[in-house]
Amino acid sequence: MVTVAQNPRPHDQNPIPKTQENSKPAIAVVSTLFFLFGFITCLNDVLIPHLKELFSLNYAQTMLVQTTFFAAYFIVSMPASKLIEKVGYKNSFLVGLALTALGCFSFVLAAKIAIYGVFLGGLFILASGVTVIQVAANPYLTTIGSKARASSRLIFAQGLNSLGTTIAPLIGSALILSVAVKSADEIVALSALDLEIYRSTQAGSVQLPYLGLTLFVIIIAVALCFFKFPNNKVAVQNNLNSNVKFKLFDHPDLVMGTLAIFAYVGAEVAIGSLMINYISQPTIGNILFDEAGKYLSLYWGGAMVGRFIGAFVTTKIKPSKVLFTHAIIACALVTSTIMGTGYFAMTCIVAVGLFNSIMFPTIFVLSTERLGSFVEKGSGIICMAIVGGAIVPLIQGYVADISNLSISYIVPLICYVYIAFFALRAKNGISVK
């Protein structure tokens, strides 16, 4: 929450209305960054089935893509929070974009080498940049406008994030998954030289999309250099002037919400990561990977539609109630997926995306609304919890290896049960100090 310094001078009176009036362009600009990291993050879901077949990996090994990517949130989030305090929001955005561009370009180089570990290294650099952007963007949108509409603003920005995740599978499937992949038996039959040539050719299919992303990120960074951000350091200054030390467990809303973010991101990423493999099964959709990628786009598209609707609904209905309802419906859909087959099971798992829609921004606001000048620290801690996207998919991949893909969806089901519990506590005010 942005506060006004005590004992202002006469010419400093009533600065808030002017700030809010000038905040709309900044809100629009920062919201576009959500589109960018949504697009980049969702491309992982397309990479996973491609790299699985290319390097003959099992599900747990394939999930290292998400483990590497989302581990960056755990490692980089707190340093990113400190970066905001020192250099402000604008420069933090620029640092994040620079790392993102470097990570995207590293994929072009990794494709030439065609080594799985090199791909993972490039993903970590890329994810580090995305982390810095997100750690800065969430609190900036929360504090720049009126507190009453904080959840609505963040949900709208997340809607643009979902626009990116909706488009990414379509482009990724067309450029990456449309390339014919040999079966495991055919790969085993290849000589060492033929295998190296094959992997190099297949890995090269990722070069074009990531080269395009590199150029796109650079263009955005150059444009931001000329944009003036209002309230670039206000919250940081308030925090620095405070004599009160931040103690995590003095903020039960933040503790509970951090676990909820871990569960939400883990469930959403795990479902998306295995969806193409799940839908392509003979007992479910019985379709090719590139066709299954279109259903993945519907999954993320549902989140986009839900977020734009949720941006309005949460101005009329208490956000905690909306979150609880969405979590319960998600539980029902995942349970139906576990127990069902064919088109019914496929429809249920795709529909989960619609009810994922408002979860992240609503949990974020419910967790940070009482933090005051500690909102940047809270954002850093919450973004560390995005490491759920590294751990939960790995667990689900392991369960899929020892059982089957349908049974493995019990892992995200447990996550949604906890989110419903968190929403219920927030709704009843149990977590209020």
**DSSP per-residue letters across 239-294:** HHT--PPP-GGG-HHHHHHHHHHHHHHHHHHHHHHHHHHHHTSTTTT---HHHHHH
Between CA 326 and CA 133 the distance in angstroms is 27
Q: Which CATH architecture has domain 22-236+247-428?
A: Up-down Bundle (1.20)
Crossing angle (nearest 10°) for helices 23-54 and 192-203: 160
SS3 for 58?
A: coil
pLDDT bucket at 20, cuts 50 / 70 / 90? low
Tell me the per-residue pLDDT of 364-390, one tens digit each, with 9 for 90 and over.
888 887 776 777 778 778 888 889 999
Map tokens 């944009």 to a residue. Answer: 227
Handedness of CA 15, 140, 26, 299 (dihedral sign): negative
> Measured at the alpha carbon of residue 96, what is the angle toward residues 93 and 101, in degrees to the nearest 5?
125
> Model pTM?
0.74
Tell me the per-residue pLDDT of 35-91, one tens digit each, with 9 for 90 and over.
998 898 888 888 888 788 777 789 999 999 999 999 998 899 889 888 988 888 899
